Chain A
Amino acid sequence: MLNYLVRRIALAVVVLFGLLVATFFIIHLVPGDPVRAVLQGPAPPAVVAQVRHELGLDEPILTQFGHYISNTFQGHFGTSFALGASVASIIGQRLGPSAALIGYAMLIAVLIGVPLAIWAALRPHGWVDTAIRVATTVSFAMPAFWLGLMLALIFGLDLGWFPVAGYSGGVGGILRTLTLPALALGLALSAVVVRTLRSSLLEVLQSEYIEAARSRGLRDLRVVSKHALRNSVMNTLTILTVNVGFLIGGTVVIEQVFQIPGLGTLLVSSVVKRDYQMIQALALLAGTAVVLASLAADIAQAFLDPRVRLAGR
């Protein structure tokens, strides 16, 4: 168990280091000069040299990489030259709406996906299963932003139930402003949950202890809810964490559709303004979130699954 944990954490550290290298070189592969981008126009050579020095861009590349790593560990991500404030503080202000949107979308994916997966697994290849399969194919095929627009058109503009733009905090505010965006994002994920959970349920339902439960005369739904589902909780958790990257990518587009002041809209405006410092920090943050989520899921699985927990005893 300890052995497994140490190996798993070491692997995460390796991947995180890879992310640091990748995000560092993103800035240095820029064909344009970051200094020109800061100055936003022609400037005398002396000024260019001074700004270059302030940004530390005149030092050897390995020294710069060393600075980047030590700054990152101290939480210094530099100053956004487009917004004129510290990158860390801007990200801090924008984190809330994005985190709420991702959490809400996951909740919706589970609330829709898990019951449908059970329903489909009870009678594989029956008409319910087929209908659910068609529905997941359709919902997976829809671009999230297009679905968002359609939801905004129907439930926002036409029926007037929800606002079509903006964000407000608090539970009430989130329910009002984030329900449509979270639905747009969560429906595609629910298709993934249904597909994966259904096939893992089917596998479990063919195992011997399920046969035993059935031969004791337990009803299908009870067999599934009491015995099979417990085995599938971890699967669902894994599906959700594997798709954190997908959700982060999705928020970028969905936030744009509903004009939510989160990290996604920040990323898009930073790309337009070529605010490299900000892009670098956001890319690092997104990658780190994915790595930590999958690490957390694996550790949770290690504690919950006796086959992993007791291995090596």
Chain B
Amino acid sequence: MSTIDVLAEPSGPTPAVEVRRRGRIVRDLPLEAKIGAAMLVVLFLAGLLAPLIAPYGQNQLDLANIFSGPSGSHLFGTDGTGRDVFSRTLYALRLDLAIVLAVTYPPLMVGVLVGAVAGYFGGIVDAVLARIVDTMIAFPFMILVIAVIAIVGPGVKGVLIGVPIVAWALYARLARSEMLVLREQQFMLATTALGYSKRRAILRHALPNLLRSSLIYSTLDMVVNLLLLASLAYLGLGAQPPNAELGSIISDGQSTLLSAWWVATLPGLVVVLFGIGAGLLGDGLSDGQLRGRLQ
């Protein structure tokens, strides 16, 4: 039996054995996944603790110190009104990461459930669902979110409505295709033979397996969503002042790019760091999963 099946069967090994196995899986992660996970932990902590660790207020003016370059007292320098770019970046990161989590994981749960049900039962439900998913995925994501923002007005609300409308569809497609394979496997056939209800078979036996690839994919999805958020904020369609997003700080710095490069450059680097961390984690996890399957 492969590692995946062991994890999926709550009625299998005793809990103590299972804990030990899970522990080994974390230890056996490739180095790049560990590095990626560490980067994400640091960034999420920085966002979470922003009010505690930010040296200045997010909109604290200091007109005596406008456009001062990066230094010990202002790590990322200051902008045109003397606001500390590092503190603003921390608060923006806090807001952006909260939105990213909110538009990534609830749609993941919905998508995986829908995909699991469609894949398990097949037939007409499956066919209709596949067409809806096709239409969703065909629509340029960014344009759809901008259209929703045109309706509800600029701000975070447009993103919170617009992204989940589409985001579940990818997970539904992923979960459905895995379910098609899964439902023919021994342990799933056994749930039928043992007379378990379909609900129990899907929720307790299939779902843990389906969640695995969706969670791995979600590392990439978080990057895509963060980039989308940054783009919208850059266009002025994201959070409105006094709140800042990473994209709006970069946008503020564009006009003074040559004289004060740090305002636009350094918050962008934070986005890049998040993307690299999530990319490394995702790559490492999918490699680990492949190896697990081959064993």
Do A and B form a real pair?
yes
Residues of A within 8 A of B (CB): 11, 14-15, 18-19, 22, 26, 29-31, 133, 137-138, 140-146, 149-150, 152-153, 157-158, 244-246, 248-250, 252-253, 256-257, 267-268, 270-272, 274, 276, 279, 282-283, 286-287, 290-291, 294
A294 touches B138 (CB 8 A): yes
Q: Which B residue sits closest to A14, measured CB to CB? A: B131
Hey, which chain B residues are within 8 Å of A14, CB to CB?
A: 131, 135
Minimal beta-carbon separation of A239 from chain B (angstroms): 15
Hey, which chain B residues are within 8 Å of A158, CB to CB?
A: 258
Q: Which B residue sits closest to A136, measured CB to CB? A: B279
Interface members, chain B 5-37 (any A CB < 8 Å):
none
Q: Which B residue sits closest to A274, measured CB to CB? A: B150
User: Counting CB contacts under 8 A, is B274 at the interface?
Assistant: yes
Q: How far apart are the CA atoms of A105 and B92 in the complex, in Å?
A: 30
Interface members, chain B 261-295 (any A CB < 8 Å):
261, 264-265, 268, 271-276, 278-280, 283
A and B contact pairs by CB, cutoff 8 A, 22 listed: A11-B131, A14-B131, A19-B135, A26-B151, A29-B151, A137-B275, A141-B273, A141-B274, A143-B268, A143-B271, A144-B231, A146-B230, A153-B265, A158-B258, A245-B142, A249-B141, A252-B146, A252-B231, A253-B235, A257-B254, A271-B150, A290-B139
Hey, which chain B residues are within 8 Å of A282, CB to CB?
A: 143
CB 8 Å contact bits of B130-153 with A (1 = contact, 0 = none): 010011001111111011011110
Nearest 4 A/B pairs, CB to CB:
A141-B275, A249-B142, A146-B268, A245-B140
Interface members, chain B 231-254 (any A CB < 8 Å):
231, 234-237, 247, 250, 254
User: Counting CB contacts under 8 A, is B223 at the interface?
Assistant: yes
A18 touches B235 (CB 8 A): no
Point out which of B146, B150, B230 has the most chain A C-beta atoms below 10 A from its C-beta.
B150
Q: How far apart are the CA atoms of A295 and B247 in the complex, in Å?
A: 35
B144 touches A138 (CB 8 A): no
B265 touches A249 (CB 8 A): no
User: Counting CB contacts under 8 A, is B227 at the interface?
Assistant: yes
Interface of A is mostly: helix
B234 touches A286 (CB 8 A): no
B250 touches A145 (CB 8 A): yes
A149 touches B141 (CB 8 A): no
Q: Which A residue sits closest to B158, measured CB to CB? A: A271
Q: Which A residue sits closest to B149, measured CB to CB? A: A271
Q: How far apart are the CA atoms of A15 and B237 in the complex, in Å?
A: 28
Hey, which chain B residues are within 8 Å of A11, CB to CB?
A: 131, 134
**Contact for B142 among A22, A157, A248, A272, CB less than 8 A:** A248
Task: Please classify how large the interface on chain B is, using the bins under 10, 10 to 19, 20 to 34, 35 or more.
Answer: 35 or more
Minimal beta-carbon separation of A106 from chain B (angstroms): 15
Minimal beta-carbon separation of B152 from chain A (angstroms): 7
Having A11-B134, A141-B276, one finds 18 other A-B pairs with CB under 8 Å, namely A14-B135, A19-B135, A29-B151, A143-B227, A144-B227, A146-B268, A149-B254, A149-B265, A152-B257, A245-B139, A253-B142, A267-B143, A271-B150, A272-B236, A283-B144, A286-B139, A286-B143, A290-B139
Q: Which A residue sits closest to B267, measured CB to CB? A: A146
B280 touches A252 (CB 8 A): no
A283 touches B275 (CB 8 A): no
Point out which of A11, A141, A252, A272 has the most chain B C-beta atoms below 10 A from its C-beta.
A141
A291 touches B138 (CB 8 A): yes
Hey, which chain B residues are within 8 Å of A157, CB to CB?
A: 257-258
Supposing A138-B276, A140-B275, A287-B143 touch, asked if A271 and B237 sit within 8 A by C-beta, the answer is yes
Q: Which A residue sits closest to B229, measured CB to CB? A: A143
A252 touches B235 (CB 8 A): yes
Minimal beta-carbon separation of B45 from chain A (angstroms): 19
B146 touches A137 (CB 8 A): no
B257 touches A287 (CB 8 A): no
Hey, which chain B residues are within 8 Å of A144, CB to CB?
A: 227, 231
Q: Which A residue sits closest to B274, measured CB to CB? A: A141
Interface members, chain B 116-137 (any A CB < 8 Å):
131, 134-135
CB 8 Å contact bits of B200-241 with A (1 = contact, 0 = none): 000000000000000000000001000110110011110000
Supposing A138-B276, A141-B271, A143-B271 touch, asked if A283 and B147 sit within 8 A by C-beta, the answer is yes
B234 touches A145 (CB 8 A): yes
Q: How far apart are the CA atoms of A287 and B273 in the complex, in Å?
A: 32
Hey, which chain A residues are within 8 Å of B273, CB to CB?
A: 141
Minimal beta-carbon separation of B233 from chain A (angstroms): 10
**Contact for B151 among A30, A142, A252, CB less than 8 A:** A30
A245 touches B258 (CB 8 A): no
Supposing A30-B151, A290-B140, A291-B138 touch, asked if A140 and B223 sit within 8 A by C-beta, the answer is yes
Q: How far apart are the CA atoms of A217 and B139 in the complex, in Å?
A: 48
Q: How far apart are the CA atoms of A14 and B143 in the complex, in Å?
A: 20
Supposing A248-B143, A268-B235, A279-B147 touch, asked if A133 and B152 sit within 8 A by C-beta, the answer is no
Q: Which B residue sits closest to A133, measured CB to CB? A: B283
Minimal beta-carbon separation of B209 from chain A (angstroms): 23
A31 touches B151 (CB 8 A): yes
Q: Which B residue sits closest to A263, measured CB to CB? A: B143
CB 8 Å contact bits of B172-211 with A (1 = contact, 0 = none): 0000000000000000000000000000000000000000
B283 touches A137 (CB 8 A): yes
Q: Which B residue sits closest to A146, measured CB to CB? A: B268
**Contact for A153 among B141, B146, B235, B258, CB less than 8 A:** B258
Q: How far apart are the CA atoms of A145 and B234 in the complex, in Å?
A: 8
**Contact for B271 among A30, A146, A244, CB less than 8 A:** A146
Hey, which chain B residues are within 8 Å of A30, CB to CB?
A: 151
B257 touches A149 (CB 8 A): yes
